[in-house]
Structure 1
Amino acid sequence: MPANFLPPAPAQVLHPDGQVRFGKYAGAPSIIDWTSLAAAHRRGKLWQTLHHKHWHYVALATEEIFCGIAIVDVGWINTAFAYVFDRLAGKLIASYSQDGLPGLTATLNAHPAERASSAFRFLGKRIRFQHLPASGGYELQLQCGSFSINAMLDAKPAAASLLAVGEVLGGTVHATVKSAGMPLSGEVRVGSRSFNLQKGVGSYDHSNGFLARETGWRWASAHALDIGFNLQAGYFSSHENALWLDGQLISLGAAQFDFDPGQAMADWHIYTDDGLLDLHFHPEGFRAENKNLVIASSRYLQPIGVFSGWVRASLDAPKRQIEKLVGVTEDHFSKW
């Protein structure tokens, strides 16, 4: 097996003695449970409560639209957002963002794949993402007034997910599961308009760990059924950098993000230092949100657009050209 191909994921992120199974793996664990975390990385109950961050993000992409949906629990508060970006018009046509009440409005269980279930409910608005045991796929339902989503993500033909488990500067440990691209079905409705998700591609991100009070990152993600990638630079180093290529999951090195933070619609150049990925990203539009809650703040910019360039499985493998693969980049800082 080539050195950058990944071993199968363990069922648990902890060894029986509470030590962490650090590394990158192909597949998802049955559960991400930090309850028996050993003393080397364990902190006091109050510290862990305040620093525990848990989120579920789902992306839906077609030739017409891109949707981003997230449920986030940061311990002392929770929040959710969802949007629809019309790729043909180059603008957001639906957007929902709501802070919730701790312990009441958001629920995220510790299962990142099989038995996964996340939900957000607030004043009649609701979002739910769940694993469907009968089909092995996932269902996403959203009802926010005249904005609704009823989507199915088919996991059967998808490549293995990525599991990354690592240390974080200023925090302790973190684990994330990033799915490969999955075929979509269903529809998105915005007012009187309906968008068919057939022939689209869906993916998700389930993350769970103890992060620093101040956390920042740059991120890029895009998926087709035969190719996809996840790249991050910031709080989690290169732990979650990976390439999906023709059913294989390949580890990538550190990612470099060359962009102008003050120009949301300017192109990005993104590449990895191992020579396996070199891409240019052209934004079609963006979603931005800045929050200041006195004791916390967030600065969020997520351009939506297309990636072009090349990837390869190893240095001696031929370069695979990528042309206009739809996805997102992100520049994010949180004080939470």
Structure 2
Amino acid sequence: MTPLPAAPPTIPAPDGVPAFGRFAGAAARFDWARLSAPHARSRWWRRFHHKRWHYTALATDELFCGIAIVDVGWTNTAFAYVFERGQREVVAGFSRDGIPGLTAHLADHAGGQSRFSFAGSRVDMSASQLSLRCKGLRIDAAMAAPGAPLLLAVGPVQGGAVHATQKSSGLALTGTVRVGARAYRLDGGVASFDYSNGLLARNTAWRWASAHSLELGFNLQAGYFGAHENALWLDGQLIGLGAATFEFTEGDPAAPWHVFTDDGLLDLHFTPEGARREDKNLLVAASRYVQPIGTFSGWVRAGADGPRRAVTRLAGVTEDHASRW
């Protein structure tokens, strides 16, 4: 196993050239206005192709919560859901589109503060804290510093320019989720986050899988970003993974998934417990999104000759997503 190189401090570098690849650690700033040729784009082009999102997952034996703030340039949105695993259903949630330039602020790096505030709903999110207030739902969560390096992935995008993403390993979690009059404790759970920032194509699609404990976790994607962000966290080590294959029944969120990588380091079967889905058609833009929630079982290993580590009912999500934005 070869350790990933240290993350560059800024994307792109001072000369405007982005360092492509996978890195261990965090970049302090993403600034696509500084890109040099051949990746440079006009300010007007960037206005409509710059896409950013900050997503946080909170998992306990009782709940799984997904919370996101998304800025796609010409508009912004936020969503959250609370999935009660025993009942196998989403018991609370919201989704709200905002006003361009007014209702959302996305940080320019993963360690910054992102927020969304509109019509009585507010979400504040960073790498260490999350606060959500909306009708019938309140979340207060604190995440410990990661025990393993962040993944930084940077690469070109067909039909776009350059994309970058920061993913965390599993983070020790404390806090409370309140749904109406009922309170759920998050203490002893595991959080993770995804901060993504890039110049993407008008049509963008992906399949994604992610799950974490404090000792073991993974992030897998197939689609617009290839294998750039595929990674395994194992006992504090960050390990790059090969291309991922997603076998599933499209249109049936209750059907099982089989996910594996071509380097022989990960082979997992996913059993859904339920799903959150949302389809939007805004005439000039549209999205189709389904995120099954469930558990992964199978095995991973740190190297091709290494022993297999069993994975048993690790809580996480898969996702099938297509956007015209």
Q: TM-score range by the shorter chain?
A: over 0.9
Structure 1 position 281 matched with structure 2 position 279: no
List, as ranges, runs of 4+ consecutive aligned residues in structure 1 with deviation greater than 3 Å. none
1:8 corresponds in structure 2 to 6
1:147 corresponds in structure 2 to 137
* Alpha-carbon distance, 1:217 to partner: 0.1
* Alpha-carbon distance, 1:71 to partner: 0.2
1:47 corresponds in structure 2 to 45
Output the CA distance in 2 between the equivalents of 1:33 and 1:26.
Answer: 19
Structure 1 position 317 matched with structure 2 position 306: yes
* 1:244-270 Cα deviation digits (max 9, x unpaired): 000000000000000011211000000
Structure 1 position 24 matched with structure 2 position 22: yes
Output the CA distance in 2 between the equivalents of 1:154 and 1:96.
Answer: 26
1:129 corresponds in structure 2 to 125
One-letter amino acid matched to 1:201: V
Q: Secondary structure at the match of 1:112?
A: coil
One-letter amino acid matched to 2:141: A
1:254 corresponds in structure 2 to 243
Identify unmatched segments of 5+ residues in structure 1: 132-137
Q: Secondary structure at the match of 2:270?
A: strand
Structure 1 position 197 matched with structure 2 position 186: yes
Q: Secondary structure at the match of 2:11?
A: coil
Q: How many residues align?
A: 325
* 1:272-313 Cα deviation digits (max 9, x unpaired): 000000000000000000000000000000000000000000
One-letter amino acid matched to 1:63: D
1:263 corresponds in structure 2 to 252
2:90 corresponds in structure 1 to 92
Output the CA distance in 2 between the equivalents of 1:33 and 1:318.
Answer: 41
Output the CA distance in 2 between the equivalents of 1:248 and 1:139.
Answer: 24
One-letter amino acid matched to 1:129: M
Q: Secondary structure at the match of 1:202?
A: strand
* Alpha-carbon distance, 1:14 to partner: 1.6
Output the CA distance in 1 between the equivalents of 2:87 and 2:44.
Answer: 47
One-letter amino acid matched to 1:167: P
RMSD of the alignment, in Å? 0.8
Structure 1 position 117 matched with structure 2 position 113: yes
- Structure-to-structure mapping, 1:136-175, within 5 angstroms: 138-155=128-145, 157-175=146-164
Output the CA distance in 2 between the equivalents of 1:160 and 1:246.
Answer: 11
Output the CA distance in 1 between the equivalents of 2:116 and 2:17.
Answer: 32
Output the CA distance in 2 between the equivalents of 1:251 and 1:149.
Answer: 33
Output the CA distance in 1 between the equivalents of 2:287 and 2:8.
Answer: 34
1:59 corresponds in structure 2 to 57
Output the CA distance in 2 between the equivalents of 1:140 and 1:36.
Answer: 31
* Alpha-carbon distance, 1:44 to partner: 1.6
1:106 corresponds in structure 2 to 104
Identify unmatched segments of 5+ residues in structure 2: none
* 1:187-238 Cα deviation digits (max 9, x unpaired): 0000111110111000100000000000000000000000000000000000
Q: Secondary structure at the match of 1:35?
A: helix
Structure 1 position 229 matched with structure 2 position 189: no
Output the CA distance in 1 between the equivalents of 2:256 and 2:186.
Answer: 27
* Alpha-carbon distance, 1:158 to partner: 2.0
Identical columns (%): 59
So what's the TM-score if we normalise by structure 1?
0.95
Structure 1 position 296 matched with structure 2 position 300: no
The answer on whether the counterparts of 1:146 and 1:190 sit within 8 Å (CA) in structure 2 is yes
1:135 corresponds in structure 2 to none
* Alpha-carbon distance, 1:32 to partner: 1.5
The answer on whether the counterparts of 1:302 and 1:328 sit within 8 Å (CA) in structure 2 is yes
Q: Secondary structure at the match of 2:17?
A: coil
Output the CA distance in 1 between the equivalents of 2:87 and 2:219.
Answer: 26
Output the CA distance in 1 between the equivalents of 2:254 and 2:158.
Answer: 31
Output the CA distance in 1 between the equivalents of 2:37 and 2:5.
Answer: 27
One-letter amino acid matched to 2:247: D
One-letter amino acid matched to 2:9: A
* Alpha-carbon distance, 1:125 to partner: 0.7
Output the CA distance in 1 between the equivalents of 2:147 and 2:94.
Answer: 29
Counterpart among 73, 77, 84 of residue 79 in structure 1:
77
Q: Secondary structure at the match of 2:227?
A: coil
Output the CA distance in 2 between the equivalents of 1:7 and 1:223.
Answer: 23
